[in-house]
A and B are shown apart, each in its own frame.
Chain A
Amino acid sequence: SQKIEQNSEALNIQEGKTATLTCNYTNYSPAYLQWYRQDPGRGPVFLLLIRENEKEKRKERLKVTFDTTLKQSLFHITASQPADSATYLCAPWDNYGQNFVFGPGTRLSVLP
């Protein structure tokens, strides 16, 4: 069956460090994958989209990689700030069902 795993339910890091979040998927061959940020009680907000023919995508302090062989995406936040504290969701595109499927999320806490 199809499955999406995100490395840990919660991740604590020190301000200024790089946060690395992992998304692994099985039984998917997504044409692209998205990352979203969600704050408590709010709807997810789009951050980045990476396609299967792209190895890496950057946006300001954010970087996403996509390894279709490993079936894994890594999401990096460099020079992390307390304001980056939130839950981050990965969402591979399900080519068969023609919709996004969301991972359970990783709750990131950046400590001052």
Chain B
Amino acid sequence: DADVTQTPRNRITKTGKRIMLECSQTKGHDRMYWYRQDPGLGLRLIYYSFDVKDINKGEISDGYSVSRQAQAKFSLSLESAIPNQTALYFCATESENTEAFFGQGTRLTVV
């Protein structure tokens, strides 16, 4: 089993719909992250969480929200999806000052 699992792997949704991307990890790490990746722009941080009670906005949090349901689970929601949120989304987990482990990504298309 993968250390970090993202669901769904691919999703096409319509403008204005609410969508949730889920992430779970088996590493036992406290820190979890959500990134989006667009061609030529690299990985940009949306939200991050250092423990269940800690949620922080990243560089591009507008239009997104998150929920840390448990140490192992960190969900990203798009309340009202718009086409420019079409991107590849990655969840990652990390233990303090060590390497990050990434999920396989969710390819989201908003039409």
Contacts and interface: CB of A to CB of B under 8 A. Distances in A.
B19 interface: no
A49 B99 contact: yes
Given A41-B105, A42-B104, A99 B98 contact: no
Interface residues of B, number: 27
Nearest to B50: A98
Interface of B: 4, 33, 35, 40-45, 48, 50, 56, 58, 88, 90, 92, 94, 97-105, 107
A69 B58 CA distance: 27
Contact of B43 (A31, A34, A89): A89
Contacts of B104: 42-43
Given A99-B33, A99-B48, A44 B42 contact: no
B98 A44 contact: no
Given A89-B42, A104-B41, A43 B103 contact: yes
Contacts, number: 52
A28 interface: no
A79 interface: no
Contacts of A36: 100
Interface in A43-97: 43-46, 49, 89, 91, 93
